[in-house]
């Protein structure tokens, strides 16, 4: 592969441990660089997921858990549609500190590869955008998303195309559907970060309990 191609990639695949990922994002947040890069690179993940989510979620008052919320780009997009009740969690305190004041009802530092610190059926929906990617959050987090979401609630997420099969997201989603834990409403290849030659699967599933 030409060096030019490698240079164009965001080097997420080089990260190995959770601490590396945390440091990577803590550094990326400095001087608001993360948000600037996302804007310059025309990162469309938050916009694309919010648009699909809005088609299925009619009640604007619903409680939405934003898993891996970063600087709150998903909250910003959902707010355009009138949603307002956001609970955010992320590994990087520096990114959490950049979330616009008052946009989220609650923000907490959390490792989503561990049990989520909320009770069963607390939320109407979970959004998880950009967080299923190299060395980030693994497929068992989907069990936790379903646990904290109410019956008939929604989970909406992106999966970086490069890890969908490699990390077993394909098998996990099949298992969850085969065992009637959730039902697929949408699943398609989205633009996501096309300027960096990275696309992602975009999924929207209804929780069944």
Ligand X SMILES: C[S@@+](CC[C@H](N)C(=O)[O-])C[C@H]1O[C@@H](n2cnc3c(N)ncnc32)[C@H](O)[C@@H]1O
Q: Could you list the residues that contact ligand X (CB under 6 A)?
A: 18, 21, 25, 45-46, 68-70, 73-74, 90-92, 95, 110-113, 129-131, 136-137
If the CB atoms of residues 178 and 197 are measured against ligand X, the closer one turns out to be 197
- Residue 90 or residue 124: which is nearer to ligand X going by CB? 90
| SS3 readout for 75-94 | HHHHHHCCCCEEEEEECCHH
CB of 124 to ligand X, least distance (A): 18
**Of the candidates 189, 191, 144, which has an alpha carbon nearest to the alpha carbon of residue 164?**
189
Report in angstroms how near the CB of residue 151 gets to ligand X at its nearest: 25
Rounded Cα gap, residues 44 and 36, in angstroms: 13
**Whose Cβ is closer to ligand X: residue 52's or residue 110's?**
110
Nearest residue (CB) to ligand X, 51 versus 208: 51
Non-local (6+) Cβ contacts of 130 within 8 A are: 43, 45, 46, 68, 70, 158, 200
CB of 143 to ligand X, least distance (A): 15
CA pair distance 133, 13, nearest whole angstrom: 8
Residue nearest to ligand X (CB): 70
Query: Are the C-beta atoms of 204 and 56 separated by less than 8 Å?
Result: yes
- Residue 64 Cβ vs ligand X, minimum distance, rounded to whole Å: 12
């Amino acid at each position: 592969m030409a060096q030019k191609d490698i240079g164009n990639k965001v080097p997420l695949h080089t990260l190995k441990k959770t601490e590396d990922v945390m440091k990577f994002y803590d550094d990326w947040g400095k001087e608001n660089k993360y948000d600037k890069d996302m804007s310059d690179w025309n990162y469309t993940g938050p916009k694309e997921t919010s648009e699909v989510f809005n088609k299925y979620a009619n009640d604007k008052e619903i409680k939405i858990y934003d898993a891996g919320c970063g600087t709150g780009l998903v909250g910003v997009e959902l707010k355009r549609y009138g949603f307002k009740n956001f609970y955010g969690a992320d590994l990087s305190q520096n990114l959490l500190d950049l979330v616009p004041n008052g946009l989220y009802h609650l923000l907490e530092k959390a490792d989503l590869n561990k049990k989520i610190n909320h009770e069963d059926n607390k939320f109407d929906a979970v959004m998880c955008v950009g967080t299923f990617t190299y060395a980030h959050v693994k497929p068992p987090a989907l069990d936790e998303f379903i646990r904290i979401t109410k019956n008939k609630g929604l989970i909406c997420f992106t999966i970086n195309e490069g890890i969908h099969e490699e990390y077993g997201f394909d098998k996990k989603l099949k298992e969850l559907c085969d065992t009637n834990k959730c039902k697929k409403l949408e699943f398609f290849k989205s633009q996501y970060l096309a300027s960096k030659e990275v696309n992602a699967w975009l999924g929207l599933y209804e929780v069944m309990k």
